[in-house]
Structures are given as C-alpha cells and as structure tokens.
Amino acid sequence: MQYVTGANRFRFMISDTFQSTDEERTAADFKVHLRHNYRFSETFSSLLFVQNEYNPYKRLERRTLLGGGTRADLIRSSSCQAALGASLMLESIELTDDPEAGSSTDTRASFFGSFIYQPTDILQIDLSGFYQPIFPDFTDPLILTVLSVNTSVTDKLAITTSLEYSFNGNPPEDVKDTDVEITSGLKISL
C-alpha cells in the first residue's frame, strides 16, 4: 500500500511465504516493512524505514531493522524508473536455535539500486538490489537481489513472479551462505 500527500510518501509492505509438502511445512518467510520518504527536490528524498522479519528456515526468530538515509531518483518517466540510495540502519537479530543468547544488535550500511521498466500497459519488470555490510567493517555483507515480473490482470491486481538471490557473509552455523528462491503470487494495489 502506498499513500502520497504533497512531498510525503508512505509505503506499507507485507509478505508471507508458506510452503507445505506432504502436510509438513517446508518454507516460511514473513516480512512487514514501513517506509517514509520526503521529497526535497525532483531528484532527492529522505528515507526512513522499519522492518520486521521472521524465517525459521534461515534460523531467524526475529530480524528487526530501523534506518534512515537518502535516495536519488535518477530516471522518472511513465515507462522507466531508476533510483539509488544509501542509509545507516540498526539490525537486531534473534536466532531460533539459540534463544538463551538473546539478540544481537549491529549497525549496517545499506546501499540499494532499483530499476523498473514497463514496456506495455500490462507488463512490468522490476530489478532491485541491496548491499548491507556491517559498518564500518564492510567485510560481513548481506546481499539481496530480486528480479520480479508483474503481469496486470486488472488496474488493481497483478500476477507476480520473482527470482530472489541472497548472500550472507556470516550465516548461522549449518545455514548456507547463498540462497535462491523463485516465488509466484498476487500483487494488489490499493
């Protein structure tokens, strides 16, 4: 959901992945994200966000992010948009297999790029990437790249298929450092 009033833009995103095989749950990934942008000029905006995530299959009991920075809109046309941004964020993580250790909190830099191309009225291609190293060390990054293809069914409803690549420079024990997921779903615009 997105709400724009004057120079302010508020965006609320929620996603949940659920997969079951033979009545046994085999995947789960729940995220809630709230973001605010204030447009200073045609190019630059502020960026404030909070996110909470849960994924027991990546041993995340909870991952909470709180950050702020700036974004630059490099291209803004009806068929193509491109943006770059940078922020600092606090990251608090609690792992499912180590509840006695409590949570750990780090400061990460977050750099992102976004490219959206809409060649027709019903087709949209969305590529975004995040590079989030521990600050100021930069040797323990989280990397996330998502390629989504959205096909409009109506003005408010689209079918979306996404390819997601993630890399964790310091994953929990017995968790792979690289993950690739393909998902399909519905996108509702309110």
Query: What ranges do the domains of the chain cover?
Result: 20-29+56-188
What does the pLDDT look like over 4-59, one tens digit per residue? 898 999 999 888 877 667 777 766 788 999 999 999 999 999 999 999 998 877 77
Is the model more confident about 125 or about 25? 125
Residue 128 pLDDT: 97
Instruction: Determine the topology of domain 20-29+56-188 in CATH.
Output: Porin (2.40.160)
**pLDDT at 130 > cutoff 90:** yes
- What span, in angstroms and rounded, lies between the C-alpha atoms of 71 and 33? 17
